[in-house]
Homo-oligomer: A and B are copies of this chain.
């Protein structure tokens, strides 16, 4: 289907917006009236610019407050419409969006609305254009899509149809069944927006918090499948009002929007309509999106393949890995990169990476087919990172995440990761370089990545679409220096768990919150005992925490004393328990060591304030505050 986007989604001047929309690969756009009014480009110049960029103008929007009014007001409204229809002729755009009346409607009767919409349709047809009538969720007399359709059906004029906007329909929780009753040729336009679940008045929700499909909480694939099944032939168009996108980089927002639409078309193909509609019918009416056609979903459920760390200055990373029981297994054949392993955890310390402070530079995800995963990422408008590759190296393609982390796809070669061979034949067996005992770490439990606030929604879409992860709703963690908003992304079998944390902005400070890698053990008390015995410094936990824990949960004095004496944090959900500790940060990274029992599915969110406060106390050198 053709792709389109409303200019209001994107920041900048009209010229900026059109360039960004074209660069992102959209076919056309909805021209938001205020973007034209504030532009110094004449309508004719807009037409020429659009043609240069290969963009069609799919909709002129919005026209407001028309129907259900007294006769004198109707005359003024028709005069206003006449002006706008003339403008549309100059712009060469054939469809205008009409929102149901919010401000000036005084006459609730359906016959009044039908008569007045009919008069508008006649005027539109005289100008050779048509009107797509949309029920705003907060419309005064018309606020549901089926009501709008009932009026359009009664007018029965070629120049009047409906516009279906996912926000206005899904925000009201409307039954979607009536979409199938609207003839496809009467659906003049389809606007798409996702949204977070909020219990906010629908107008504020709509104006400030809309998201691109996949970034919010709605099932837009089902919505699109229904609209297409009804026979809609027009473009799928995004209309997203969002306070953050309004001030973002136009090119990034447009690329992100396009990614969301590619993903949505793909999901819509897979969406099943309820009851009578068969699967083949859906497949027939929802054509395969050209870009993703034939590309399977990424199967990232095999888990984390490796973590690449930038060591910074000094040996802090090597020292900590040694203490944590990692064993040095070899050096990369061509790079100054060292492999450290323990059970299924592989950490590559890459000395070729520049920068003075240690940080997580890249994450390798094990997929079933690197070529498919890469092709899908490119189709989702990611660019493959350049990578020098020797002929005997593993095929390993990477892309850049919005937070700057490099994401790599990796395949297994038999029982071991294919890239392991790059570290020489010796890498497949442990070397004797470590004399310290194993600490019981088994695998990577999760990785927590800090996101800049203005790119957090983009990051959710990125990891979800590229890796095929499922997103949770947002959670607030109370930090000393502000709230941290956290969303987790997981595979169904939890082989991959990512936590994306949006940290508070610190005006005037350049403080960057570190990322962290959580490693799993089957016996945290034993692991911590080993670590403490060898002098590993873990994040101190206040004694007050254990008094509160004892008050909150009746764990028994002995258990609490065990946790307290070696400073382990404890959480419990309705399935199981979670025990965890943190290393001290080295540069921009720290490690967590966790133990999950009996299906506990969280990340110890209740303890996050304790962790954040203790880290800040250490960082500020104020251990007694």
> Which A positions have Cβ atoms within 8 angstroms of B?
11-16, 33-34, 36-43, 45, 76, 79-80, 83-84, 87, 198-201, 204, 207, 243, 246-248, 452, 454, 476, 478, 480-483, 504-507, 540, 542-545, 547-548, 550-552, 554, 609-610, 612-614, 616-617, 622-625
Contacts and interface: CB of A to CB of B under 8 A. Distances in A.
A49 to B, nearest CB: 9
A484 to B, nearest CB: 10
Contacts of A483: 243, 246-247
A482 B550 contact: no
Nearest to A485: B243
Given A39-B625, A542-B39, A33 B548 contact: yes
Contacts of A545: 37-38
A166 B199 CA distance: 22
Given A243-B483, A504-B246, A38 B80 contact: no
A542 B40 contact: yes
Given A13-B616, A507-B454, A38 B609 contact: yes
Given A13-B617, A87-B551, 12 more contacts: A11-B482, A13-B480, A36-B544, A37-B548, A38-B614, A40-B540, A42-B543, A76-B554, A246-B478, A246-B481, A246-B483, A248-B507
A93 B198 CA distance: 38
Contact of A482 (B83, B246, B548): B246
A512 B381 CA distance: 34
A482 B243 contact: yes
B39 A544 contact: yes
A551 B36 CA distance: 14
Contacts of A452: 507
Given A12-B481, A482-B247, A40 B548 contact: no
A461 B483 CA distance: 24
Interface centre among A13, A15, A207, A612 (most CB of B within 10 A): A13
A624 B40 contact: yes
Q: Which 3 A-B pairs have the closest CB atoms?
A: A247-B482, A199-B201, A15-B625
B204 A544 contact: no
Given A204-B198, A540-B40, A622 B547 contact: no
Nearest to A479: B246
Nearest to A505: B247
Contacts of A481: 11-12, 246-247
Contacts of A14: 625
A508 to B, nearest CB: 9
A34 B507 contact: no
Nearest to A84: B551
Given A625-B15, A625-B16, A38 B506 contact: no
A37 B482 contact: no
A464 to B, nearest CB: 23
A343 to B, nearest CB: 33
A476 B556 CA distance: 55
A622 B80 contact: no
A551 B83 contact: yes
